[in-house]
Each structure stands twice: as structure tokens, then as C-alpha cells.
Amino acid sequence: MSGSGSGVVIVGAQWGDEGKGKVVDLLAEQAHAVVRFQGGNNAGHTIVRDGEEFKFHLIPSGILYPDKLCMIGNGVVLDPRILLGEIDGLKRRGVDVGNLRISANAHLIMPYHVLLDTAGEVKLGKLSIGTTRRGIGPCYADKALRLGIRVQDLLDEKILRKKIMAALEPKQQALRELSVQRRKLRKEAGEGSREGADHSIAEAPDPRLDLHAMTEEFAAYGHRLEPHIADTAKLCWEELDNGRRVIFEGAQATLLDLDHGTYPFVTSSNPIAGAATVGAGVGPSDIGEVWGVAKAYATRVGAGPFPTELEDATGRHMLERGHEYGTTTGRERRCGWMDLVALRYAVRLNGMTALTITKLDVLSGLDPLRVAVRYRSREGAIFDEFPYHQSILHSAEPEYEDLPGFDTDLSECRSEAELPAEARAYLDFVAEFAGVPIRLVGVGPGRDEVVWIGGNPGVL
Ligand code: IMP
């Protein structure tokens, strides 16, 4: 999909949390603008700058540069309370947010979306997706139903009230039904004494769903956000038409893609590179480069298939050495070996032109290093490609290639030559198998703890 434009898309190549924030931060140095194009505050980026840690959920990682235009594109779903909290937090730490622009067309996560997300997960019980419960799915559902509230609606209280009224009624009904179902289930399970208490809660109007209070609250958010609201697509065109580099910052990752990921255990947006065009309002020919980001191993939060998952001491090593706890929910991440079948799939889906491997240092002390190169189904069939059929993926057993490990501390390495031969061989194997060059390798959490392969060429 890449064209000759000056746009660079950065995407997660696995199940998220690959360290995209750091890569965006590094590449943003040579860019004029950074745009987020999908997802919402289900994402979490941690950036360490001069020993100080910054956590973002909505604001593009480029905000730490005072001269970069930072945009939240139309494809993002935005919880204004969270966004304002991030803006205030940055201001308190002396970071200028004057360059933040928010698309007037981005959809808003409303209180009922958050309630529905949780209620839906509770209803699914054992089958739950393990969402971040931030209201992402219900908000995108309303967008598709044309019942969504957009950022621009915040600026006209009359319109806002009408739109909330139209959207609210079916939500109240759905939440009531879910609550009745829950009471029934509890009753069947013999939890009679709690039933009465629950009943009164279900009957009382939920103050979080009061039309007037909600309208007033959101109109107030509109006043505060107004200076940032803009036509972000047009701002992107101005940059791209002048040949200036624009970074399209993906959130979540390829295998969580609504269409191409491990459905239904996915997020409700399209995190793959193609979606950058829709979610920011540019054309495919505006994209010149697609950088994928993968960890040197694999992690996943939430439920769903994860063929190379390890529930042993090696998995614990990855969890502890890699500090694999969610930025957004604090959940422990599931850990496992690098899955090259899945990675090659991600390379093709995104039309990747370069790959970044993060957290190579975490593998130090493990020997051998295993990488999955094919799957075997329960019936013994071999899959060299990522299987499209859900039930095959759920039961697929990975087949591994074993590579020699290393025991060196990599955090001081700053060039390819300084990496141990085994680490270089590991990277070569990954790049060869995935069919894309590795340009950047992470060897520690800090901004400088990286190795540019082939040097840092002012990038791209
Ligand atoms: P949702 O996006 O909150 O609806 O969650 C859907 C699935 O995507 C769940 O398995 C989440 O754990 C996962 N997910 C959402 N955002 C992220 C992320 O930023 N990193 C990793 N997993 C995520």
C-alpha cells in the first residue's frame, strides 16, 4: 500500500504493547506532525525522557516536542474526561500542549459506552473478551449505527442534547435488560438474598445516565477543548503537500484488528496501516513507509488465541524482566516466544517496509531462543501461513526453530557490532523469515537504549 508520500505509519505487529510509543518518539524527531488514527484510551504508551516517565492514553506521543503538530484524527474514539486529565497532567509538568489538534469528526466515548462495555463483558462470563472496559466497542458500534456523538457536537448544546437523547434511550433499555438477566441468573444460582437489593438498583434511575447532567457536563468539556478542535485531515494535507514528514501513530496492533486479527478477541477498530488513511483522512499514496514494531518475544493481554504462550519459568522471566504489566489496566500480560508465522502475516497485511524489534535485552539469560516457524493442527496438518479459521488457530501447536541464546547485558550496546553474535543471528533469522529489514532494535527502556541497524540515517 505504500506510495511515494511523506507519511510514515507506525503499527504494532503483534498483540499490542510492543513499544510503539518509543519508536514514534524517536521517529518524531525528524517529523513535522504526529497523528493518531484509531483506538482510544484503551491504548497506553510509556515514554521515558531524561529519566522522567510519561504515560499517554490518548495524546499522540509527539507531544513532548513543542514544535510538532500533534493530532487526534477522526478515526479515534475519545473520552473527553480522560483527554482533559492528560492535558492537565502535562501542563502541570510544564509540557506545552498548544500544538494539540483534535478532529471535529472524532467520536466521543460517553458514560453509557463505558457501562455497556462492562455489562457486555459480565454477560459473556467465561466467553468474555477481556476488554479494557473503556467503552471502545460500544462507541464504535454507535458510530456504525449513526448514533454517535462527535467532537463537533460539543460546541452546540442544543444539538448535543438532541443527539444524547436519541442515543441514550436504547442504552437505558439495553442496560436495564442486562441487569434483569443478571438478577435472573443470580436467582437461579440461589443467590436470593442479593436479588432484592439488586432489584432496587435496577429500578432506580442511574444518575450517570441523566440526560441533563450529561449534556451540561459534556458541553463544559466542549468549552475547554474548543481551542484544540480543528479539521485535522486538512492539517495533514498541508504537511504532506509540502513533502513534510507526518507520522501516523497506530494503537493496539495487527492481531487485534477487527477484520484481520483473532476475531472476536480483537479491538473494535482497525489498527493496521491501511486504516491510517481512513482514520486521518489521507490517501494511500500519501504513505511512503510502514514501520512495524514487534517485541523480541510476544505478549498478549485479554483473552484469545496465543499459540506460543508460555506458562512456565521462561514466561515468568519475560513477565518480570520485561515488566509486562498493562499501562492502561495494570493487568499481567501473557508472555511467549516470538511467533514468526504471525509476524510474517503482519508484515504482509501492513505492507511493512521496516521492522523494529524492541526489548531484545529481555531475552538475555534464555538459551535456547525459540521462534515459531509453523503450526500443527490437532489433526496433524501443517500450517506455514497464519490460519484464517478460528478453531484451527485456537488449537494450533507451534513448531519451533531453536537458536542459540546469549547471556550478556545489552543495555550498553549502541551499534550492531556491539551486540553479541547470537543476538545478531537471532535478528537476522527474524528479518529473513519475516521478509523485511530490521532498522531499529531496543535494548532497554530509555530513549537512547537503542541500536540503529545501518545507522540512524536521519531516518527514511
Ligand atoms: P478493547 O479495545 O478495550 O475493546 O479490548 C479488546 C481487546 O483488545 C482486549 O483483549 C484488550 O486487552 C485488547 N487491547 C486493547 N487495547 C490494547 C492495547 O493498547 N494493548 C494491548 N491490548 C489491547
Nearest 10 degrees: CA dihedral of 280, 285, 288, 289? Answer: 60
> Where does the pLDDT of residue 201 fall: very low under 50, low under 70, confident under 90, or very high at 90 and above?
very low
- Whether residue 264 is preceded by a cis peptide bond, meaning omega within 30 degrees of 0, is yes
> Rounded to an integer, what is the distance from CA 307 to the centroid of its chain?
20
* Helix segments in 292-438, DSSP class H: 313-321, 340-350, 390-395, 421-434
Q: Which of 117-126, 180-189, 233-242 has the lowest mean pLDDT?
A: 180-189
Nearest atom, ligand 1, residue 12 CA = 20
The predicted model gives 222-244 an average pLDDT of 97
Q: What is the pLDDT of residues 259-290, one digit of tens each?
A: 999 999 999 999 999 999 999 999 999 999 99
pLDDT, position 204: 64
pLDDT in tens, 70-85: 999 999 999 999 999 9
The answer, yes or no, to whether residue 183 has pLDDT greater than 90, is: no
| Separation of CA 334 and ligand 1 centre (Å) | 13
C-alpha of residue 132 to centroid of ligand 1, in Å: 6
pLDDT of residue 17: 93
Give CA–CA dist 456/374, Å, rounded: 33
Ligand 1 in reach of 255 Cβ (< 6 A): no
pLDDT at 198: 45
Q: Does any ligand 1 atom lie closer than 6 A to the CB of residue 130?
A: yes
* Ligand 1 atom 5: residue of nearest CA: 131
Cα(420)–Cα(430) distance, rounded to whole angstroms?
A: 16
In ligand 1, the atom with minimum distance to the C-alpha of 134 is 3
Q: Look up cell 481512513; give the residue.
A: 278
Identify the pLDDT of residue 458: 56
CA 252–ligand 1 middle distance (angstroms): 7
Task: Return the residue whose CA atom lies nearest to atom 12 of ligand 1.
Answer: 302
| Any atom of ligand 1 within 6 Å of the Cβ of 16 | yes
Task: Name the residue at shortest CA distance from atom 8 of ligand 1.
Answer: 267
| Best residue for ligand 1 mutational test, from 38, 78, 113, 132 (most atoms within 8 Å of Cβ) | 132
135 Cα: distance to centroid of ligand 1 (angstroms): 11
Ligand 1 atom at minimal distance to the Cα of residue 137: 4
Q: Using the atom order of ligand 1, give the atom closest to the CA of residue 256.
A: 8
Q: Give the distance (Å) from ligand 1 centre to CA of residue 428.
A: 30
Residue minimizing CA distance to atom 10 of ligand 1: 302
3-class secondary structure per residue, 57-112: CCCCHHHHCCCCEEEECCCCEECHHHHHHHHHHHHHCCCCCCCEEEECCCEECCHH
Q: Whose CA is nearest to atom 15 of ligand 1?
A: 42
For residues 150 and 159, the answer to whether their CB atoms sit within 8 Å is: no
In this predicted structure, the answer to whether residue 2 has a pLDDT above a threshold of 90 is no
pLDDT of residue 98: 94
Question: pTM score, two decimals?
Answer: 0.93
Instruction: List the residue whose alpha carbon is closest to atom 11 of ligand 1.
Output: 131
- Cβ atoms within 10 Å, residue 175: 17
Tell me the per-residue pLDDT of 286-329, one tens digit each, with 9 for 90 and over: 999 999 999 999 999 989 999 999 999 999 999 999 999 987 77
Question: pLDDT-based confidence at 196, cuts 50/70/90?
Answer: very low
Reported as a pLDDT band with limits 50, 70 and 90, residue 244 is very high
| Atom nearest to 136 CA in ligand 1 | 4
- Rounded to the nearest whole angstrom, what is the distance from the C-alpha of residue 194 to the centroid of ligand 1? 32
Atom from ligand 1 closest to the CA of residue 329: 12
Ligand 1 contact via 357 beta carbon (within 6 Å): no
* pLDDT for position 193: 45
- Report pLDDT for 179: 78
H or E element at residue 237: helix 232-241
Among protein residues, the one whose CA lies closest to atom 16 of ligand 1: 42
Selection from 137, 395, 133 nearest residue 264 by Cα: 137
Contacts of 220 (CB under 8 A, 6+ apart): none
Would you say the CB of residue 136 lies under 6 angstroms from ligand 1? yes
Residue 47 has pLDDT above 80, yes or no: no
**Interacting residues of 445 by C-beta distance below 8 A, sequence separation 6+:** 22, 46, 48
Taking 60 as the threshold, does the pLDDT of residue 457 lie above it? no
Range from 29-43, 85-99, 185-199, 425-439 carrying the lowest mean pLDDT = 185-199
Pocket test for ligand 1, best of 256, 295, 306 (most atoms within 8 A of CB): 256
The protein residue whose alpha carbon is closest to atom 1 in ligand 1 is 131
Which has more confidence, 178 or 34? 34
Catalytic positions are 17, 45
pLDDT per residue over 382-416, tens digit each?
Answer: 999 999 888 899 899 999 999 999 999 999 999 99
Predicted confidence (pLDDT) at residue 194 exceeds the cutoff of 60: no
Q: Is the CB of 19 under 6 A from ligand 1?
A: no
Q: Is residue 1 pLDDT above 70, yes or no?
A: no
